[in-house]
Amino acid sequence: MSRKPRLHYENALYHVIVRGNNKEYIFNNDIDKDEYLKRVSKYIEKYNATIYSYVIMDNHCHLLIEVSDIPIFKIMQLIQQTYTSWYNRNYKRSGHVFEQRYKSILVDKDSYLISLVRYIHQNPIRANMSDINYCYSSHKDYIKGKSEICSVGEVLSMFSDKKKSAIKLYTEFMDITDNEIKDKDIYDLSPSFEEIKAEINNIEIYKKELAEIVDEFKKRYDVDIDMIKGRYKKGDILELRNKFVIEVLNYKAMSQTELAEFLGISNHLISKIWVGKNK
């Protein structure tokens, strides 16, 4: 059976998992882990991608990568090939280092970004290797609130607009046992190949939906959309704004970041409304 092609579209978010060939250790020590991380950093920067989270274990690693115009397979191909060449030279060996086909799972950024960051950072705990403060994990960058490799600001802003509060809330979130995402169903987070292909072919429809939602909202509630824009709203206007946020995100007319900019409020507030919709 032929493999499905790796699908690409701009700004897609992928949970990438690479493993050693035959489950062998391929990151045997700090030098190996540093060499791999060096390559991740190099090609993420070179191809204008964004990495939100990583963990490098002894026989596998997890990367949470958002691409731009360069496909994920191009980035991963260079990371894997250059590390394989270095590894074989360093250990005077030949042949495969990684499993031939790494896993790249396309995920919904709005729904799963912070949960996947937690899932990745808790990997050493599940493997009984370390606590949350494992040294080859981007968790330490979130605690510092800055990183040379990862984009920590966007995730932290989902907890609070203030850096110290965001780090505190993030730390508390990391301490919660991740019941939302399990090893056995991590692959179910991805839409099917057919669903994503259909979404790409209908980008025009998704772009039109915001105008349609705005128009329907005006008719249904007899309110101009400018009235719900801005952060400080009370009473009925606050309730209408929250309904609008949920409707736009339900229809995927905008991302959380785009919607925050459209309404003139913070990404953190958008996230809070969305997370609280079922409470």
pLDDT in tens, 220-272: 888 888 888 887 777 888 888 988 888 888 777 777 888 888 888 888 888 88
Spatial distance between the Cα atoms of 122 and 57, rounded to a whole number of angstroms: 12
pLDDT over threshold 70, residue 179: no
Contact of 73 with 6, CB cutoff 8 Å: yes
Please state the domain extents for the chain: 13-195, 202-278
> For residue 229, what is the enclosing H or E element?
none
pLDDT level of residue 196 (50, 70, 90 thresholds): very low
pLDDT at 152: 95
CATH superfamily of 13-195: Transposase IS200-like (3.30.70.1290)
CATH class as words, domain 202-278: mainly alpha
- Of 162, 154, 136, 140, the closest CA to residue 267 belongs to 154
CA-based R_g, the chain, Å:
21
pLDDT number for residue 209: 63
| Cα→Cα distances 62→103, 151, 234, Å | 10, 15, 43
For residue 65, what pLDDT is reported?
Answer: 96
Band of residue 194 on the pLDDT scale cut at 50, 70, 90: very low
* Per-residue pLDDT tens digits for 11-52: 789 999 999 988 899 999 999 999 999 999 999 999 999 999
**pLDDT value at residue 86:** 94
Confidence of residue 1 (pLDDT cuts 50, 70, 90): very low
> H helices of 29-71, where?
30-46
